Amino acid sequence: MGMTTSPALHPDLAPLAFLLGSWSGTGHGQYPTIADFSYQETVTYTHVGKPFIVYTQRTQDPHTGAPMHTESGYLRPVGPAVAEMVLSQPSGIVEVHHVAIDGPSIEMVSTTVVRTPTAKPVSAVRRIVTVDGPVMRYTMDMAAMGLELQFHLSAELSWG
Amino acid sequence: MGMTTSPALHPDLAPLAFLLGSWSGTGHGQYPTIADFSYQETVTYTHVGKPFIVYTQRTQDPHTGAPMHTESGYLRPVGPAVAEMVLSQPSGIVEVHHVAIDGPSIEMVSTTVVRTPTAKPVSAVRRIVTVDGPVMRYTMDMAAMGLELQFHLSAELSWG
């Protein structure tokens, strides 16, 4: 980024270094209020030498390439196995998460979800991300539209 | 982005098209609880053909080039002169704004600011962004550390 290229990893990020890179692959989604769907996804976790990770995500229609969802945010370690995550979405939703780090896996549980007046009523989110060598897998559970927290998304992504 | 290059501007974005592009320049900050400071900044407003604008911002130390602040979010029109803005910051802060569009100017007033447990106590933000030809100027007022809403940042940026 800018004048600082290839900065050294901040030592606080060592427990989260397994996330770093660009990951692409295919995901699937479902929810009782919508039709099942699939998507092509690219997720990036990068750093600039400071004690946080920059997260970006975008998905595309697997057939047409048209952009679907996107979101971005930041992951910041605050203890040996604990981090904080914030992210925002163009749909008018922001999520604040408590993050538990367990080896090459993180579990993000929302402490707050805030919505703009026109956003869909999402009230809670849980995201689990696990890296196994060159493969990243994640699941996302969501409570929305008045329904309880339940499975919404899963994807398998490859590094590079 | 991805397979979709140079998409057509979504008609909903016409009133905000003046923001689109990459803007760089110098800014200055102050607050009663900290020393005055200056920064080099790059702000981007981009789109992918959908009815929202992607916002990114990063600042660097003007002398060393070291990264300072960064933030990212989304701006979405919801009426002829009204938009919603969400953004997140690695410091553990998310902002939700009501946005008034007035010609080549937007005024963003926070409706909610949410913080992670370790974030500094920021409680309200007001941002005004104005474009005059190839120049973007903004100011940001902030209520933080128990103090009332007051001037915090201003910058003048050039397009391109």
pLDDT score at B6: 79
Sign of CA dihedral B11, B13, B19, B21: negative
Q: Quick one: how far is CA A62 from the chain centroid?
A: 19
Query: Which residue numbers of B have CB closer than 8 Å to A's CBs?
Result: 1-4, 7, 42, 48-50, 52, 54, 56, 58, 60, 65-67, 70, 72-74, 76, 78, 84, 86-96, 111-112, 114-119
Nearest CB partner across the interface for A50, out of B2, B67, B84? B67
Both tokens of B107, joined, read 């005024």
Nearest CB partner across the interface for B116, out of A1, A72, A86? A86
Between CA B27 and CA B100 the distance in angstroms is 23
DSSP conformation letters of B112-135? EEEE-TTS--EEEEEEEEEEETTE
Instruction: Say yes or no for a CB contact (<8 Å) between B78 and A118.
Output: yes
pLDDT score at A6: 79
pLDDT score at B80: 87
Task: Say if residue B4's pLDDT is above 60.
Answer: no
CA distance B59 to chain A (A): 9
pLDDT score at A5: 58
The domain locations on chain B are 11-30+37-159
* Tens-digit pLDDT profile for residues B12-55: 999 999 999 999 999 999 999 999 999 999 999 999 999 999 99
What average pLDDT does this structure show over B56-82? 97
Q: Which residues of chain A have pLDDT under 70?
A: 1-5
Instruction: Say yes or no for a CB contact (<8 Å) between A74 and B58.
Output: no
pLDDT score at B5: 58
Superfamily the domain B11-30+37-159 falls into: Calycin beta-barrel core domain (2.40.128.20)
* Tens-digit pLDDT profile for residues B89-142: 999 999 999 999 999 999 999 999 999 999 999 999 999 999 999 999 999 999
What average pLDDT does this structure show over B63-79? 97
In this predicted complex, what is the ipTM?
0.94
Interface A-B, measured as beta-carbon pairs within 8 A, has a size of: 128
